[in-house]
Structure 1
Amino acid sequence: MTAEPRTKAETRTTAETRTTTETRTTTETRTTTDTRTTTDTCTTARADTAADVHTGPGSETASAPTPAPRRSHGGPVLALLAAPAAMGVSGPTLALSDAATGLAVSPGTAAWLLTAYGIGMAVGTPLLTAAGGRRGPAGTVRAGAAVLVLGAALALVAPNLPLAVAGRALEAAGAAGLNVAAFQIAGRDRSGRAPGLVAIGSAVGGTSGLFIGAAVAGTLGWRATLVLPLLSLLALVPALRLAARTAPEPEPAGGRQQPRTAAARSLPLPLDVLRDPGFRTAAGLMLALSTVNFALLYAAPRRVAALTGWNGMETGAAASIATLVGALLSWQLIRAAPALGMRRMRLLLAAGSLTAAALASFAPWSAVVLIGSATSSLVTAGGQGLLTGAATGRLPEARHGTAIGLFNLAFLIGVAAGPAVAEALTAA
């Protein structure tokens, strides 16, 4: 009798234990299932997120992010855009006697074909910069190209000196626009290498123009030397692409603007730029370097021809090689600038220019005259690359375009003044 109740109790206990075990097992199973479901959901979400991050238009794999391509500032293209503008200064130099005969004027009067080009570049720089200012460097490139073509056409068909001079001035204004646009686009390279390449390209154009002009005059006639800046059109399309790619991002609507920038934009004249000591120093030195360089570009080949008796082709080749070597060596000057510092660099540029003028003007040997020309080319090309950054270094970014335009204006005033000074000194 006592065994039976014990059996029922054991049975009940066993049943309860089994039920509890099953319940716990079921709970654990549900918990495991829920955890697995949550884990799967998180994994799926993480995978979807990774796919969204790593997968883009045109992507074939989603394994790793693709590094952003390095931005190219197109120094060689911009150098090709600027070089023919400088070529227009020196190209007709050794063909002036033929031009004087063709236009029935004296060789000294024919020198206005060079002076007018420099004046046209000086005047065209602010005008073309303003004309294309609303559309950025691309607008300046388009406006410059149109004016260049118009002026070259007039220079080619002009029957007398006044019309030829007018054509050269108009052509130079367009070339100035292309030159300024090249430096504006290159100026976005903070390393200074792109502006340096543009400056070297400009120097190479000016120096090689002596030989190219003499060769073109011998084959196509003296009028062809007046339109050498048309070669800039070879770089027109890639330059427009660079201008579009390096355009500054628009400011957000309603964004807050710095008071200094807003005040500067409202000024009728760029007084804030002109007041800046760094800009004034850089622009003044550039004016001096440019005046000496283009005076020697006009006078030194004549001294070489007088000392050697060489013809135009031989003189042009020798002068071009000397000044080209100087322009190429300016790259080493640009590389040495960070170690020397800007103050020492300014002193070196000024001393080099004075030495060049003395050697080219007074040396009794043609080789030394050519060394003087090479030295002037070296410091002018190096200075144009280095001083561009110094002219804008202390100004807000919104004023860099204006500062670069005014800086190039100082350079171009030297382009105009150099041949006139040389002609006045040699005539005296």
Structure 2
Amino acid sequence: MHLSSSQPPSPSPSTASRSPAPHRKRSDGRPRTRLSEEPTRNGSPGFAVSAAALGLLATPTALSTNATTTALPDVAHDVGVSVSTATWLATVFGLAVAVGTPLAAALLRHRGIRAVVLVSAALIVVGTVAVAVSESMPGLLVGRAAQALGGSGLVTTAINLAGTPRRMGVVTAGSGMCGALGPLAGSLLSDHLSWHVPLALSALALLAVPYVVLRAPAHQRDEGARAPFDAVGAALTVALICALVLLARFPVPALICAVVLGLLLAASIRRRPDGFVPAPVLRSPVFLIASGVVCALSMAYFALLYTVPRLLEDDAQWDRVDVGTGSLVVLLIGSTASWFMAAYAHLVRRSTVLAVLLVLGVLAPFTGAVAAAPLLLLAALGVAVFVAASGQATLSVVAGGGVAEQQRTTALGLFTLCYQLGGAFGPAIAAVTLA
């Protein structure tokens, strides 16, 4: 199915004489069938915030996520729990990021960018203090949840302010690079300082907060936010996200809960089409295709991220240093290449970009599943991070453009949620594959 832009809003008297938006041409005469590098319709005020600041706002969350993985043995030893119990710190962090994304999108619609950034910053401060002083699992879990909720708000804000694939590429490629550096950073910081430090890395995003608050556009309440907040829809959405994320740990009960909650949420959307999850967004084929593709690309990447190192250790007999070094190199290369893809995607047709993402997105996990040569496995991992980061950068603009202006913020939040759900499902797939 061809991805096309959403229908434009009704023209105002001052613009009624112009041609409809889908038929307008670029200044060079080409039809607008490409990934435009122009600001998205209500995202142009965000260009007051530099792309570098958006990257700093969003990428520490990825760094904090992956840095924790290598610090978990030290955490388990000092806190007095098993390593498997300590992995709940990673699970809770991922769950809170997923839950916080649609909530942050709703807050953006109702209260604006500055409110979301300040609330998110406060949560990160509270969470960082908690993980810095806690010596027990309950305190650490609360701290990590607060950090993740704050981080999801900053990531959602950065994506909404990006506006073009090139600027989105700074966010997604930066997140990929920080994610690649995370395990090494967590190991070094734990060994030479304390395991508390890797758990506090999300606080680096606070460096960008004053600048973003000062430069962000003032909030203008849109028509989609004039209705009362849909508390029922929000509660059902959050509960459904929790059930989906917990499928890997509790398959049967989580699946039953997900089915029941999905039916209840569908009934809630039918009762209130303009609620927390707007029905017009779910009816947009452009949004659904873009979100489905990015979820699949994310799943493949995170599955390979967990599978390839295990295969290199068990089958190729690589030691951990070699595995870590090889993974780091290909992840950095893939993340860097994704920025170039995002930066220059507007020069080719949208269908071509989608075809490249789909072909490579299928090729990477297939190679990872059948290849035995270590270099092929590493290449599959590098291609997977490339298509996942490129897809998030380019398809976010497609997803946001596939809905009406007043629903764009919600659509981008749900699109980002689909990417994060892919990150939750990928490790579960890897666990089944390696079992």
Q: TM-score, normalised by structure 2?
A: 0.70
Question: Greater helix share, 1 or 2?
Answer: 1
Shift of the alpha carbon at 1:250?
A: 7.3
Identity %: 33
Shift of the alpha carbon at 1:144?
A: 1.0
Instruction: Go from structure 1 to structure 2 and tell me whether the alpha carbon gap of 1:111 and 1:362 turns closer, same or farther (over 3 Å shift).
Output: farther
Q: What are the residue-to-residue correspondences of 1:19-418 with 2, within 5 Å?
A: 72-187=48-163, 191-244=164-217, 247=218, 266-306=274-314, 307-311=316-320, 315-418=323-426
- Native 8 Å contact 2:62 2:178 kept in 1: yes
Shift of the alpha carbon at 1:214?
A: 2.2
> Aligned residue pairs: how many?
341
Shift of the alpha carbon at 1:268?
A: 5.0
Q: Which runs of 5+ in 1 are unaligned?
A: 1-69, 253-263
Shift of the alpha carbon at 1:175?
A: 0.4
2:196 is paired with a residue of what secondary structure?
helix
Q: Residues of 1 paired with 2:370 and 2:194: CA distance?
A: 33
Q: Residues of 1 paired with 2:349 and 2:332: CA distance?
A: 26
1:205 is paired with a residue of what secondary structure?
helix
Shift of the alpha carbon at 1:267?
A: 3.6
1:226 is paired with a residue of what secondary structure?
helix
- Native 8 Å contact 1:300 1:361 kept in 2: no
Instruction: Go from structure 1 to structure 2 and tell me whether the alpha carbon gap of 1:326 and 1:75 turns closer, same or farther (over 3 Å shift).
Output: same
Instruction: Go from structure 1 to structure 2 and tell me whether the alpha carbon gap of 1:302 and 1:237 turns closer, same or farther (over 3 Å shift).
Output: farther
2:277 is paired with a residue of what secondary structure?
coil
Q: TM-score, normalised by structure 1?
A: 0.72
Shift of the alpha carbon at 1:159?
A: 3.5
Q: Residues of 1 paired with 2:151 and 2:208: CA distance?
A: 13
Aligned-residue CA RMSD in angstroms?
2.8
Shift of the alpha carbon at 1:177?
A: 0.3
- Native 8 Å contact 2:297 2:388 kept in 1: yes
Shift of the alpha carbon at 1:218?
A: 2.1
Instruction: Go from structure 1 to structure 2 and tell me whether the alpha carbon gap of 1:207 and 1:268 turns closer, same or farther (over 3 Å shift).
Output: closer
Instruction: Go from structure 1 to structure 2 and tell me whether the alpha carbon gap of 1:422 and 1:339 turns closer, same or farther (over 3 Å shift).
Output: same
Instruction: Go from structure 1 to structure 2 and tell me whether the alpha carbon gap of 1:396 and 1:413 turns closer, same or farther (over 3 Å shift).
Output: same
Shift of the alpha carbon at 1:375?
A: 0.8
Q: Residues of 2 paired with 1:153 and 1:416: CA distance?
A: 27
Q: Residues of 2 paired with 1:221 and 1:304: CA distance?
A: 29
Q: Residues of 1 paired with 2:188 and 2:370: CA distance?
A: 28
Instruction: Go from structure 1 to structure 2 and tell me whether the alpha carbon gap of 1:343 and 1:206 turns closer, same or farther (over 3 Å shift).
Output: same
Shift of the alpha carbon at 1:308?
A: 4.8
Q: Residues of 1 paired with 2:93 and 2:429: CA distance?
A: 15
- Native 8 Å contact 1:295 1:419 kept in 2: yes
- Native 8 Å contact 2:70 2:186 kept in 1: yes
- Greater CA drift, 150-159 or 383-392: 150-159
- Native 8 Å contact 2:364 2:383 kept in 1: yes
Amino acid paired to 2:128? A
Shift of the alpha carbon at 1:282?
A: 0.8
- Native 8 Å contact 1:97 1:107 kept in 2: yes
Amino acid paired to 1:80? L
2:372 is paired with a residue of what secondary structure?
coil
Q: Residues of 2 paired with 1:353 and 1:230: CA distance?
A: 33
Q: Residues of 1 paired with 2:135 and 2:383: CA distance?
A: 39
Q: Residues of 1 paired with 2:371 and 2:199: CA distance?
A: 31
Q: Which runs of 5+ in 2 are unaligned?
A: 1-45, 224-271
Shift of the alpha carbon at 1:72?
A: 4.9
Question: Which protein is bigger by CA-based radius of gyration?
Answer: 1
- Greater CA drift, 152-161 or 232-241: 152-161
- Native 8 Å contact 1:132 1:143 kept in 2: no
Shift of the alpha carbon at 1:424?
A: 4.5
